[in-house]
A and B are shown apart, each in its own frame.
Chain A
């Protein structure tokens, strides 16, 4: 299913916070069209890797090559413009804007209207604005939040908020969608429909990088998985293979106990 062209390649990424080596010499490649999992115990450096990738932190060393160009040194908004959109582990929606407006903000980076356009409301701006709204509504429907389009983001149920964050990220027309624990706090039904959504997003041509603790979800959607522990890469490969890796099992359980990753 996954294509062969490389979309993102990381080479020797390192990041240190004071005495803590959050990431050391992490390398991996993500191919066009795949769902790439990133797992590891708490504190393994997964979110740090996201933050380094999306320009929130600058890595101490290493390079990211994305879609044929270097990423390191770019500001977060430039990374978004290059085509990487993300969600956050602790949902970061624009709480006092409506669901629809949240997604419309995501179109910012693909639209051009400035102050004069906003004040004059010329034909071009009006067309652009109509396009933004149409696209935002389509995306709300796509993730299943359209029925609550006019509700404030903070008043939405938890599962809707997670989905809304994905819609907002998709609004930036990303080539790579980076999701930080999208299933955290979801019940089994919500997780199942999230899994379906992830398959849809991939089918429609967006590559996904997924941090997730829900192993059932990871095994269900990921083509390949990278395992981090204490900021180091300890395993990489197809999900089924990684879950049998002794290094992975001992990282999670600290011993020789067999891990039932298939879930119930």
Chain B
């Protein structure tokens, strides 16, 4: 149990803390819109990355299977949504139908990737998954001929936003005297999904299934000898991680309104993996923090690096883009030197033993 959520021992403090966090999260988009709508968009992307990192955490953090092609599942989810809700095929299914389809298709691809790689570990698995990610991207790039499925490098445009009845998530509406922009509506939806995914992950980790994954991560031979069907458990990890990726991809599609294979390059996979590693492999809160930091850091640097240089030197000496990646890389190196287990290392779940000991 996480100390700030210690409902059992300090219920009042925990409830007040939760209420404060809830208020901040609800008010946040209004504040951000005041600064500039693009900050809400950046926040939305950060939440999407949280979802991706949490999905990858199941594969890498829990089961210990290094996956360098995770973005492929994001791509599969995104394209599933785009193809079923855009003028490209003239299909316009509602999002609550497509998202489960996207999750299922990504899940299928997760098993496709998992099945042949069951005997691989570490570096070897990383190479195969990296190749898999590239294969998916290259397929998306080339499936425009002879039958145009993905529209190739041009990508798919005019993807439907989410709609619930008459409420569209892409337009600005006034509800109860408050103005809700499109990104703000997506923000609330994403927040709900994120909370659900965090809850699912927390419960999975502290369950028979989660323990089996962690056992495989720690020692596969011993896990097998203890009666764990490692083949099925690894496939399950791949499948679950992939479905989270698929759902995030579908939401990405709808929010952006346009996708192309360029959004799903190897660097994105590495970025999501960095979030998991930076935050603390296997620690759900750590992974969320890692994802938020790594999503915002480049944007904040983008808006501070140039003004800072002007202030100090009177002109821009270094291109912001260059120095941004430089600082980013430096931060990661320092991080790995001083906190190699991540910001929040995988938590040891202390169990309540006191009652038992006093009882006998």
Residue of A nearest to B239 (CB): A115
Contacts of B229 in A (CB 8 A): 75, 77
Residue of A nearest to B215 (CB): A105
Instruction: Determine if A108 and B227 form an interchain contact, defined as CB atoms under 8 angstroms apart.
Output: yes
| Known pairs A56-B221, A96-B346; A113 contacts B209 (CB<8 A) | yes
Instruction: Determine if A77 and B230 form an interchain contact, defined as CB atoms under 8 angstroms apart.
Output: yes
The one of B200, B211, B214, B351 that contacts A119, using a Cβ cutoff of 8 Å: B200
* 0/1 string, A152-166, CB within 8 A of B gives 1: 100000000000000
| Known pairs A101-B349, A113-B209; A94 contacts B222 (CB<8 A) | yes
Instruction: Determine if B225 and A80 form an interchain contact, defined as CB atoms under 8 angstroms apart.
Output: yes
The verdict on A175 contacting chain B, using a C-beta distance below 8 Å, is no
B160 shortest CB reach to chain A, Å: 29
Contacts of A132 in B (CB 8 A): 208
Instruction: Determine if A76 and B225 form an interchain contact, defined as CB atoms under 8 angstroms apart.
Output: yes
Give A115 to B209 CA distance when docked, in angstroms.
7
Give A93 to B228 CA distance when docked, in angstroms.
14
The verdict on A109 contacting chain B, using a C-beta distance below 8 Å, is yes
The verdict on B204 contacting chain A, using a C-beta distance below 8 Å, is yes
| Known pairs A76-B225, A77-B228; A118 contacts B219 (CB<8 A) | no
Interface of B is mostly: helix
| Known pairs A121-B203, A149-B353, A152-B348; A86 contacts B208 (CB<8 A) | no
The verdict on B226 contacting chain A, using a C-beta distance below 8 Å, is yes
Contacts of B226 in A (CB 8 A): 77, 80, 85, 105-106, 108-109, 168-169, 171-172
Contacts of B211 in A (CB 8 A): 97, 101, 104-105, 108
* 0/1 string, A98-117, CB within 8 A of B gives 1: 10110011111101011101
Give A130 to B112 CA distance when docked, in angstroms.
36
Instruction: Determine if A109 and B227 form an interchain contact, defined as CB atoms under 8 angstroms apart.
Output: yes
How many residues of chain A get a CB closer than 8 Å to chain B's CBs?
A: 46
| Known pairs A105-B211, A133-B351; A115 contacts B240 (CB<8 A) | yes
Contacts of A113 in B (CB 8 A): 207-209
The one of A54, A94, A129, A169 that contacts B208, using a Cβ cutoff of 8 Å: A129
Residue of B nearest to A178 (CB): B225
The verdict on A214 contacting chain B, using a C-beta distance below 8 Å, is no
A236 shortest CB reach to chain B, Å: 26
Residue of A nearest to B341 (CB): A96
Give A70 to B225 CA distance when docked, in angstroms.
18
| Known pairs A56-B221, A118-B207; A98 contacts B349 (CB<8 A) | yes
Instruction: Determine if A118 and B204 form an interchain contact, defined as CB atoms under 8 angstroms apart.
Output: yes
- Indicate the member of A86, A92, A125 with the most B CB atoms within 10 Å: A92
The verdict on B46 contacting chain A, using a C-beta distance below 8 Å, is no
Contacts of A137 in B (CB 8 A): 353, 356
| Known pairs A105-B215, A172-B227; A129 contacts B207 (CB<8 A) | yes
Give A101 to B353 CA distance when docked, in angstroms.
13
A215 shortest CB reach to chain B, Å: 27
* 0/1 string, B236-254, CB within 8 A of A gives 1: 1000100000000000000
The verdict on A193 contacting chain B, using a C-beta distance below 8 Å, is no
The verdict on A95 contacting chain B, using a C-beta distance below 8 Å, is yes
Instruction: Determine if B219 and A77 form an interchain contact, defined as CB atoms under 8 angstroms apart.
Output: no
Contacts of A171 in B (CB 8 A): 226
Instruction: Determine if B214 and A150 form an interchain contact, defined as CB atoms under 8 angstroms apart.
Output: no
The one of B209, B222, B236, B346 that contacts A88, using a Cβ cutoff of 8 Å: B222
Contacts of B222 in A (CB 8 A): 88, 92-94
The verdict on A67 contacting chain B, using a C-beta distance below 8 Å, is no
B280 shortest CB reach to chain A, Å: 12
A251 shortest CB reach to chain B, Å: 29
The verdict on A195 contacting chain B, using a C-beta distance below 8 Å, is no
The verdict on B2 contacting chain A, using a C-beta distance below 8 Å, is no
Which positions 73-89 of chain A face chain B at CB distance < 8 Å? 75-77, 80-81, 85-86, 88
The one of A114, A121, A149 that contacts B209, using a Cβ cutoff of 8 Å: A114
Contacts of A115 in B (CB 8 A): 204, 209, 236, 240
Which positions 199-220 of chain B face chain A at CB distance < 8 Å? 200, 203-204, 207-212, 214-215, 218-219
Residue of B nearest to A111 (CB): B208
Give A85 to B210 CA distance when docked, in angstroms.
21
Give A229 to B215 CA distance when docked, in angstroms.
35
Give A18 to B212 CA distance when docked, in angstroms.
34
Subset of 11 A-B contacts with CB under 8 Å: A56-B224, A76-B224, A77-B228, A80-B224, A92-B219, A92-B222, A95-B219, A98-B350, A119-B203, A152-B348, A169-B226
Chain A residues with a Cβ under 8 A of chain B? 54, 56, 75-77, 80-81, 85-86, 88, 92-98, 100-101, 104-109, 111, 113-115, 117-119, 121, 125, 128-129, 132-133, 137, 149-150, 152, 168-169, 171-172
- Told that A113-B209, A150-B353, A152-B348 touch, could you supply 5 new A-B pairs with CB distance under 8 A? A77-B226, A96-B218, A98-B351, A118-B209, A168-B226
